[in-house]
């Protein structure tokens, strides 16, 4: 009896275990089927999305209305004019500030010029002394005209120097509020007249010196010429202590500070100037698209700085030859690399784009 009860109980437990295993397997198979169905749904959704994207891309391609696209960089009309020092010295004065509008020839920075002024004054004194000695001796026949021409050239050089300093003074007075446009105009006119006078006197001196019967200079005449040469050298050194604006424009960068030591260096710009009256884009067109670009063609310009805006412009200049790209760096150059054509694009109206910004040019199709 006990043995049968024991066997019956064992059979019942084994059946219950088998039933439980079957239930677990059924649940697992159901979950697996659900996962497969979900996977099919995900795969189908992905395919549909990819096909939709391809269709959108085709539609966008059909909407393209430009001939070529090219990267570029924004710059002022005159480009970025970098002005540096011509000699070693200490900055004594900075006469302008960032965003100031400056005129051509206006003083921007003055280096310490005490030594240069002293040398110029000493050279002028020596030249005046030598001239008195020469005038006390009568000129040889045939040198009268040449002596007079030499004196006229020296006087014209001094007049031009004084006219330049007068213009410098009037420009500074105007910036400080004590001058006027009329006085600046008069000083600029005086400098122009002095420059023309010097050119005329130098031409007359060349004619007088070219005569075949002119005797050699005397000792006193040679001494005077040497003294006047010292004046010219001292004057040139003094002029190099003045950093002037080579063009009219806006002060875009001004790293110079009073008291700093500066030296001639192409990599060290003391002032950066640009004419912002017209903003332009320097773009680089691949050689394959060169034939599509014409002067006067319309262009749309886009920049990541203003993603929702387009700027209009037109092609104003094409480079005469191809060159290596500057904006799209591609590592070391290879013989098979594509060359580019530099294209200048003037932008219409007032735009917020700043010099140095990268932008893309899209050259529009023409009817």
**Tens of pLDDT along 305-341?**
999 999 999 999 999 999 888 875 555 555 556 789 9
pLDDT number for residue 166: 92
pLDDT number for residue 325: 85
pTM score > 0.85 for this model? no
pLDDT number for residue 140: 81
pLDDT number for residue 309: 92
pLDDT number for residue 277: 87
Please state which of the four CATH numbers 1.10.357, 1.10.1060, 1.10.287, 3.30.110 is assigned to the domain occupying 110-245: 1.10.287
Nearest of 344, 211, 334 to residue 282 by alpha carbon: 344
pLDDT number for residue 40: 44
Is residue 220 within 8 A of residue 133, CB to CB? The reply is yes
Kindly give the parts of the chain with pLDDT less than 70.
1-64, 328-337, 367
pLDDT number for residue 149: 93
Q: What whole-number distance in Å separates Cα of residue 352 and Cα of residue 357? A: 11
pLDDT number for residue 41: 43
Farthest-apart Cα atoms in the chain, separation? 165
Query: CATH says 66-78+275-364 is which class?
Result: mainly beta
Residue-wise DSSP of 270-330: SEEEE-TTSEEEEEEEEGGGGGG--TT-EEEEEETTEEEEEEEEEEEEE-SS-B--SSS--
Nearest of 113, 84, 64, 81 to residue 238 by alpha carbon: 113
């Amino acid at each position: 009896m006990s043995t049968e009860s024991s066997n019956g109980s064992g059979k019942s437990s084994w059946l219950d275990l088998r039933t439980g295993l079957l239930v677990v397997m059924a649940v697992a198979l159901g979950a697996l089927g659900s996962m497969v169905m979900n996977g099919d749904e995900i795969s189908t959704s992905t395919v549909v999305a990819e096909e939709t994207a391809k269709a959108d891309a085709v539609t966008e391609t059909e909407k393209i209305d430009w001939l070529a696209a090219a990267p570029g960089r924004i710059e002022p009309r005159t480009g970025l004019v970098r002005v540096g020092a011509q000699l070693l010295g200490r900055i004594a004065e900075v006469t302008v500030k960032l965003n100031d509008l400056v005129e051509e020839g206006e003083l921007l920075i003055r280096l310490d010029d005490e030594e240069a002024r002293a040398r110029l004054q000493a050279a002028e004194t020596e030249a005046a002394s030598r001239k008195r000695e020469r005038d006390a001796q009568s000129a040889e026949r045939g040198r009268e005209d040449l002596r007079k021409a030499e004196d006229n050239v020296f006087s014209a050089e001094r007049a031009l120097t004084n006219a330049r300093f007068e213009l410098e003074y009037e420009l500074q007075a105007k910036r400080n509020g004590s001058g006027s446009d009329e006085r600046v105009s008069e000083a600029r006119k005086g400098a122009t007249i002095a420059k023309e006078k010097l050119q005329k006197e130098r031409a007359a001196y060349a004619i007088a010196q070219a005569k075949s019967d002119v005797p050699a200079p005397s000792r006193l005449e040679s001494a005077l010429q040497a003294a006047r040469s010292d004046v010219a050298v001292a004057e040139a050194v003094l002029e190099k202590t003045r950093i002037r604006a080579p063009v009219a424009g806006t002060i875009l960068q001004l790293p110079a500070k009073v008291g700093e030591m500066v030296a001639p260096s192409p990599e060290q710009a003391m002032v950066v100037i640009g004419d912002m009256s017209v903003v332009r884009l320097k773009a680089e067109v691949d050689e394959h698209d060169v034939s599509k670009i014409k002067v006067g063609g319309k262009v749309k310009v886009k920049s990541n700085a203003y993603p929702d805006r387009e700027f209009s412009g037109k092609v104003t200049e094409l480079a005469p030859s191809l060159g290596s790209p500057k904006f799209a760096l591609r590592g070391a150059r290879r013989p098979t690399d594509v060359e580019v054509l530099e294209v200048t694009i003037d932008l219409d109206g007032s735009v917020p784009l700043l010099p140095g910004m990268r932008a893309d040019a899209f050259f529009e199709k023409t009817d």
